[in-house]
Structure 1
Amino acid sequence: MTSSALTFTTVLPVLAAGFGTSLSLIVAIGAQNTFVLQQGLRGAAVVPVVLVCALSDAVLIAAGVGGIGAALGRWPAAVGVIGVAGGLFLMAYGFLAARRAVRPGALTTGAAEVKSLRRTVFTCLALTWLNPHVYLDTVLLLGSVAAGHGDGRWLFGVGAVLASAFWFCALGFGARRLAGVFARPAAWRVLDALIAVTMTALGVTMLAGQL
C-alpha cells in the first residue's frame, strides 16, 4: 500500500484491522486484566491503572510498528529473562492474594493510601512489562501484521492503540457495575482466592516455559 493509496476508503479498514487485531489479543484472562478488574471493583486508583496500561500498550505497539519487534526477535534471551522475573513476580502476587483471602485486612487511609497508590502503580507496571507475552503479542505479532499494511502500518497502529484504551477503560470503569455483588466481605475473599489461583498458575506456567 503506497501513500497515494491511503484515501478515505482505505483509512477506515486499516484502522478497523488494527482495532480488531489488538482487541483479539488483549481480551483474554491474564495477570494484567485480572489486576485492572480487581482495581475497578475496589474503585481504587482506577484512573492511574488504566492510564499505565493504555500508555504502556501504546509504547509497545509503536515499538512493534516501528520495527523494534524484528530486533527483539533476534534476541530471544531477553524474553527469557523477562519471563523468569515475571513468573516469580506473579507467584509472589498470588501468595499475597491468598493471604488476603485467608486474613482480609482493613482499608487504609491518609498517608497509607499514598503508599498504596505508589505500590499499585508499581504493581501495574510490573504486571505489564514483566510479561513476556506482551512482547510476543504486542511487539512481534502486531508489528508483523502492521508491516503487511505498508505505508498504512501507522494507521493500523493507531487502531491497535484505540482498542487497548477502549478495553482498559471498559474493564476498569465498567467493573463498578458489579459493586453490589462485592458489597459483602465474603465476595472479596472469593475474588482474592480466584486471583491467587490465577496469578500462581500463570507464574508457574511462565517459569515452566523458560525451562
Structure 2
Amino acid sequence: MFTLSSYLSGFGLTAALIVAIGAQNIFVLRQGLRRRHVAAVVAFCALSDLALVSAGVAGVGALLRTVPGLVGGLTLGGAAFLFWYGLGALRRAVAPGALAAEGPDGPESLAGTLARAASFTFLNPHVYLDTVLLMGAVGGALPLAARPCFVAGAGTASLLWFLALGFGARLLGPFFARPAAWRVLDGAVAAIMLALAANLVMRGLGPLKLVL
C-alpha cells in the first residue's frame, strides 16, 4: 500500500543528504561536463543508492554496527582513495598543457568509467553512513508496510539529483570551453578531495585505536 508520508520522508531525507559536495557528486558533474557515458553513470549511482538504502532499511545497518573496526577500516580505505584522486586533480590543475572537455587522459571506456563510479560510490564511507546507517535507521523504524514507500522516495530523490547533476552540467559547457576553467575546477576538486581525505583519516583513526 502506498503511503505518501513515508514516500515524502524518504525523498526529503535523501534530498537533504545527497546535495552535499562530495566525491561522488563531483565525479558525476565532471562526467557531465565531459559528456562521457553520462546516462550510464547516472543510472549506476542512482541504482547504487537505491540498493544501499534498501539494504539499510532491511537491517544491514544494524548488523554493521556490531562488527568491531569495520567503520574505521572503511573510513581509512576511502581516505586513501580520495587522497590518490585529489593528487591526480592537483596534477591536472598545475599541468602546463591545456585541458579539454574530454580530459587529459583522452576518451575512457564505459567499463573504466563505471569502475571509477563504483570506486567513488563504494569506497566512500560517507555513502554507508548516509544510506545504510542513517537512512536504514529511519526507514527501519517505520511499519513494515511503509518501508517500500520510504525506499521509493529515497530512490526518486537520488535519481532526480543525479539526472540534474549529470545532464544539467551541459549548461556550463560554454564556460568550460576555456582551458583555464578546467584548471580552476580541478584545483577546487583537489582541495575538496584532499580535505575530505584528511578528515576521514582523523575520523578513522579513532575507531581503530579502540579496537587495537
One fold, TM greater than 0.5? yes
Which of these residues, 76, 82, 89, is aligned with residue 90 of structure 1? 82
**Is the counterpart of residue 120 in structure 1 residue 113 in structure 2?**
yes
**Is the counterpart of residue 165 in structure 1 residue 189 in structure 2?**
no
**Distance in 2 between residues matched to 1:30 and 1:202, nearest whole Å:** 8
Residue type at the aligned position of 2:136: G
Instruction: Compute the RMSD of aligned alpha carbons.
Output: 1.8
Q: How does 1:147-186 map to 2 (within 5 A)?
A: 147-151=140-144, 152-186=146-180
* Secondary structure, aligned partner of 1:113: coil
- Judging changes above 3 Å, is the alpha-carbon distance between structure 1 residues 179 and 189 closer, same or farther for their aligned structure 2 residues? same
**Is the counterpart of residue 195 in structure 1 residue 192 in structure 2?**
no
Which of these residues, 9, 14, 31, is aligned with residue 6 of structure 2? 14
Give the equivalent residue in structure 2 for 1:62.
54
Give the equivalent residue in structure 1 for 2:124.
131
Flag structure 2 segments of 5+ consecutive residues without an equivalent.
206-212
Give the equivalent residue in structure 2 for 1:37.
29
After TM superposition, the structure 1 stretch with the greater mean CA deviation from structure 2, 91-100 or 147-156, is 147-156
**Is the counterpart of residue 207 in structure 1 residue 201 in structure 2?**
yes
1:52-85, CA deviations, whole angstroms, 9 ceiling, x for partnerless residues? 2111111101101111111011125222111111
The number of aligned residues is 200
Give the equivalent residue in structure 1 for 2:15.
23
- Judging changes above 3 Å, is the alpha-carbon distance between structure 1 residues 178 and 106 closer, same or farther for their aligned structure 2 residues? closer
1:49 Cα deviation (Å)? 1.3
Residue type at the aligned position of 2:166: G
TM-score (norm 2): 0.88
1:132-176, CA deviations, whole angstroms, 9 ceiling, x for partnerless residues? 111111011111111222120121111111111111111111111
* Secondary structure, aligned partner of 2:204: coil
**Distance in 1 between residues matched to 2:99 and 2:179, nearest whole Å:** 11
* Secondary structure, aligned partner of 2:69: helix
Q: CA contact under 8 A between 2:28 and 2:38: conserved in structure 1? A: yes
1:113 Cα deviation (Å)? 3.1
**Distance in 2 between residues matched to 1:113 and 1:182, nearest whole Å:** 17
1:124 Cα deviation (Å)? 1.2
Residue type at the aligned position of 1:201: A
Give the equivalent residue in structure 2 for 1:3.
none
**Distance in 2 between residues matched to 1:22 and 1:179, nearest whole Å:** 28
* Secondary structure, aligned partner of 2:21: coil
1:114 Cα deviation (Å)? 4.7
Identity level (%)? 50
